[in-house]
Structure 1
């Protein structure tokens, strides 16, 4: 009889990974790690998955996304699904929006409206009616940013683990196009003279919680991506994407434990050995932290172990603005509204200065989503589920939010009249308010800074908390608080970077889930979609 000796590798226990948080980064990491052979358990403190990309529902039949409502550049997530043996289109019904959104510019007591399209011929014609001298700048802007993204893509697709990573060839090659001395607004001024047109191509910096007058010029790629690749609405809201990711993860063997708050990461010396949850130790070979970094790191990792990101440094870091949210279930339709509407106040620049200084704007700009314009599943027939977002100071800048919340609800409701809506108060059948203090207390967002650490150059790349957390061993980060940054597609890319490092460290069968062709723009990393995440 011939005896076949089994390889020792066949008897090696599967690598165990604990993931803290079932947000988009944690779900993407779980999918990739499970496909690579790891035994993955997600510990989620809430009773639902999705983190800030979750669905809120009411007994009256209204549904709302809690945070992200724009779904940009699905290609990265599509590649992750394909890597995991699934098809994004089969799991999620994505509808491309055209027009993408409506911009309403207040001026002199009136308003000018611009319906923005990813059809460049139509968009150029709209700009010609709106600001004739600027229409010719559209295509040069698109060409320049296509080249910028192509050059910067390798930087966004790799980890930054040491200072020397800042002077690798891809960074040197990217610097001339990055124009690090400039801002988004100043860079746009080379193409568009009308300040309203510049706002049309720069308000997207709000996805990062930043001002276009301070945000690094790299982020002109935000609006480029919208116009080149479109904006999508997942039927059922962006929360439907989280549920699809969870389904695929569970098919791959991932265990998702809801209502399971992690008390601390368990360490032996500086190495993570698992997590403590509800008085029970759960051993793991590695831990992925998907919770909000500023909120979670001080609670889960002892201060004495965090040399680069101590409690003091976390408190002194610069953070994004917060958001004041209204989720309104109305007993009337809202034909006055597009799917996405952005109201840009006449004092837009003053609004931003107020927010940065800690003053609550009294005539604020705002964003309104009327998902029912596309998706009948979000509200009962003849009703509307209205999502209202107002950028406001975070709790570090304005700690008095608990005393201001009721008053500011009235400010936000009154501002809706600027979009042609009547007083909606008599039509409200369901209402939920999420103010900055609620982001912190209910959703574990550090300092209520909805978009995480700000994306200024001193807090990007190597200067952001690392995907392989450098302060300790065996802890990895995903989410908006780590490289490459905030926004759903960027968070998905960050999950690919993090799990690639883990595959190398843990001996998993990790392989790139992106196309191999270096010059293929289809593999381009997108910039951020709006996500209080996110």
Structure 2
């Protein structure tokens, strides 16, 4: 059996890149390690252990520091009592409500992972297992799963800052608190109860460790080999062609490009039609990434930082042009030297800013130059107004990655950073499957197939796809 893994857009592989500039190191891809057990499972499946390859540390003292548009701030603390005291200072009674919220969110997390995220939906017949959820639903209000996220949070917190605090993670699933179902409180639950972790030396360590573990199992890993064509016929796939003219025969091809971007490689009418149909789906935000090497330390920042606008609903409208950017937009900042001193020299800082903007499906253009400049100004203004200081003169090196480059480097449809969005009509059985329905031997992994985006879910996607291949080809695995 000849198997080819076509890699361009893995959230573990393709996007886990490190950029080194003037002794500063940036993670230009993932920066939050959640669900560490899913990483351990991936290494265990390769006969290895996560800890043999990567030193993973829990981010301390808080999962995030959140800066609000009115210059107040709050840390997402793991300590429940300390977190309750912080919330109580924002809103009377919010401390007790936090306990109720956390219990609801944790129940959603456990149900979501066990019943949806960790299981494959191969077709409508799989919905027959959903009645088994009925006993679980006695633990959670159905509206806390399917109701509008911000609306459901208002049952716990009246202060809009607190609702924003527990819903900004909706960005990662391509939605907003005003469009996302409340079940995505599970993202806050895992951060607050399981913790946020970081691989020392950067996410590239995870990629490299998985590569070494795979090679130890006999896998041949080739890099720098661009695939230009997936060959297929009525009997299924037969292999892939590389840009250098080489042909690699294969009975199975697993593509981890962003799923819609894999179909143009088929060079068939079906491939064109499938690409057009998938490209018309709803996609997540694009991001402009500013990677800065500073000659000073921004001491007010923790490892993970979120800046939230006081224009709560307007700030979630993805800016298509500079005039649509909020004065103080929502943004995320990664400052890894707080946990990993090797990220920047002493007295300096390595800062990665993610500014969400409209993707190319929404802008209708690939020219982001004006938005890049306006976004930099808005980010620096936000930092100064939040008390971080004027960082502009301290930026000694800058590397900007805009949506067209994300698309080109990692085959991301529309330059959407998190792949296909996760609305209710694009979840579970409604999400594109990990097996092509017409081309035998063509499979997919990654953010835009099941179960969804984020590194842990992409690892789960890889496992589900591998299990499906083994089942389809009646291959048994010993030991």
Same fold (TM over 0.5): yes
1:146 deviates by 2.7
* Equivalent of 1:215 in 172, 175, 180: 180
- Is the deviation greater in 213-222 or in 503-512? 503-512
- Residue by residue over 1:439-490, the C-alpha shift from the partner in whole angstroms, topping out at 9 and shown as x without a partner, is 1233321111111111111111122110122242111111101011011111
Aligned to 1:503: 470
Conserved? CA contact 1:439–1:448, under 8 Å: yes
* Equivalent of 1:329 in 283, 293, 299: 293
**TM-score, with length taken from structure 2:** 0.92
* Equivalent of 1:416 in 380, 383, 392: 383
Gaps of 5+ in 1: 1-14, 28-49, 513-534
- Residue by residue over 1:117-143, the C-alpha shift from the partner in whole angstroms, topping out at 9 and shown as x without a partner, is 122122112212222321111222222
C-alpha distance in structure 1 between counterparts of 2:478 and 2:194, whole Å? 26
How many residue pairs match? The answer is 469
* In the alignment, structure 1 residue 294 sits paired with structure 2 residue 260: yes
- Residue by residue over 1:291-337, the C-alpha shift from the partner in whole angstroms, topping out at 9 and shown as x without a partner, is 1123332x212453359x62331232111111111000111122121
Conserved? CA contact 2:9–2:411, under 8 Å: no
Aligned to 2:63: 100
Query: Any idea what SS the aligned residue of 1:257 has?
Result: coil
* In the alignment, structure 1 residue 68 sits paired with structure 2 residue 30: yes
* Equivalent of 1:254 in 219, 235, 255: 219
Conserved? CA contact 2:428–2:450, under 8 Å: yes
1:356 deviates by 8.5
1:409 deviates by 2.7
1:171 deviates by 7.0
Aligned to 1:78: 40
1:22 deviates by 5.9
- Is the deviation greater in 329-338 or in 438-447? 438-447
* In the alignment, structure 1 residue 119 sits paired with structure 2 residue 76: no
Query: Any idea what SS the aligned residue of 1:324 has?
Result: strand
- Residue by residue over 1:466-519, the C-alpha shift from the partner in whole angstroms, topping out at 9 and shown as x without a partner, is 01222421111111010110111111111111111011123333489xxxxxxx
**TM-score, with length taken from structure 1:** 0.83
C-alpha distance in structure 2 between counterparts of 1:483 and 1:356, whole Å? 29
C-alpha distance in structure 2 between counterparts of 1:454 and 1:282, whole Å? 33
Aligned to 2:420: 453
C-alpha distance in structure 2 between counterparts of 1:359 and 1:474, whole Å? 48
C-alpha distance in structure 2 between counterparts of 1:305 and 1:511, whole Å? 38
Conserved? CA contact 1:270–1:305, under 8 Å: no
C-alpha distance in structure 2 between counterparts of 1:304 and 1:170, whole Å? 40
Flag the 1:150–1:403 CA change in 2: closer, same or farther, 3 A.
Answer: closer
C-alpha distance in structure 2 between counterparts of 1:352 and 1:193, whole Å? 19
Conserved? CA contact 2:18–2:26, under 8 Å: yes
Conserved? CA contact 1:23–1:242, under 8 Å: no
Aligned to 1:443: 410
C-alpha distance in structure 1 between counterparts of 2:322 and 2:294, whole Å? 32
1:181 deviates by 4.5
- Aligned pairs for 1:281-320 (under 5 A) are 281-297=247-263, 299-306=264-271, 310-320=274-284
* Equivalent of 1:140 in 86, 100, 115: 100
C-alpha distance in structure 2 between counterparts of 1:17 and 1:497, whole Å? 16
- Residue by residue over 1:152-172, the C-alpha shift from the partner in whole angstroms, topping out at 9 and shown as x without a partner, is 322222222222323433576
C-alpha distance in structure 2 between counterparts of 1:356 and 1:319, whole Å? 15
* Equivalent of 1:383 in 343, 348, 356: 348
Conserved? CA contact 2:285–2:318, under 8 Å: no
Flag the 1:390–1:507 CA change in 2: closer, same or farther, 3 A.
Answer: same
- Residue by residue over 1:47-84, the C-alpha shift from the partner in whole angstroms, topping out at 9 and shown as x without a partner, is xxx211221222x1111111211111100111221232
C-alpha distance in structure 2 between counterparts of 1:170 and 1:273, whole Å? 41
Over the aligned positions, Cα root-mean-square deviation in angstroms equals: 2.3
Flag the 1:323–1:499 CA change in 2: closer, same or farther, 3 A.
Answer: same
C-alpha distance in structure 2 between counterparts of 1:317 and 1:511, whole Å? 40
Aligned to 1:275: 240
Aligned to 2:158: 193
C-alpha distance in structure 1 between counterparts of 2:297 and 2:285, whole Å? 31
C-alpha distance in structure 2 between counterparts of 1:304 and 1:411, whole Å? 44
Conserved? CA contact 1:402–1:437, under 8 Å: no
C-alpha distance in structure 2 between counterparts of 1:375 and 1:143, whole Å? 32
C-alpha distance in structure 1 between counterparts of 2:467 and 2:131, whole Å? 19
Flag the 1:360–1:292 CA change in 2: closer, same or farther, 3 A.
Answer: farther
Aligned to 2:307: 343
Flag the 1:337–1:171 CA change in 2: closer, same or farther, 3 A.
Answer: same
Conserved? CA contact 2:260–2:274, under 8 Å: no
